[in-house]
Amino acid sequence: MLFFRLGPVRLLLDRTAPSSLLYLEVEDLPGAVERLRTSGTDVESEPHVIFTHADDTLGPDGTDEWHAFVRDSEGNLVGLVSRVPSVA
């Protein structure tokens, strides 16, 4: 897995990832997932921490990066991401 920072966009290269995957940043990840679930969206992966930012290389220092995954109306996998202050 390899990330490239391209201004405000991060490009992920990963052999196991689908050919294209869009990540959307949301402020309240658990709330967004619940609203989508209530509207009938298939939730593939519940919110979970994937990374703690120890510096500003890929995200704000001292934040945890949370991800969840849902399927859009055409069946494409969509990533939802949120960064929140780390709990030490």
Residues whose CB is less than 8 angstroms from the CB of residue 44 and which lie 6 or more positions away in sequence, other chains included? 69, 70, 71, 77
Burial label for 6, CB within 10 Å (0-12, 13-18, 19+), is exposed
Given this model, what pLDDT does residue 55 score? Answer: 86
Superfamily of domain 19-85 in the CATH hierarchy: 2,3-Dihydroxybiphenyl 1,2-Dioxygenase, domain 1 (3.10.180.10)
pLDDT in tens, 10-65: 777 888 877 777 888 999 999 999 999 999 999 999 999 998 988 887 778 889 99
The answer to whether residues 81 and 24 touch, using CB atoms and an 8 Å cutoff, is yes
Given this model, what pLDDT does residue 87 score? Answer: 82
Q: What is the pTM of this model?
A: 0.78
Domain boundaries, the chain: 19-85
Q: Give the residue, 4 or 74, on which the prediction is more confident.
A: 74
pLDDT at 88 over 70: no
Mean of the per-residue pLDDT values of the chain:
88
User: pLDDT-based confidence at 82, cuts 50/70/90?
Assistant: very high
* Positive/negative CA dihedral, 45, 20, 51, 35: negative
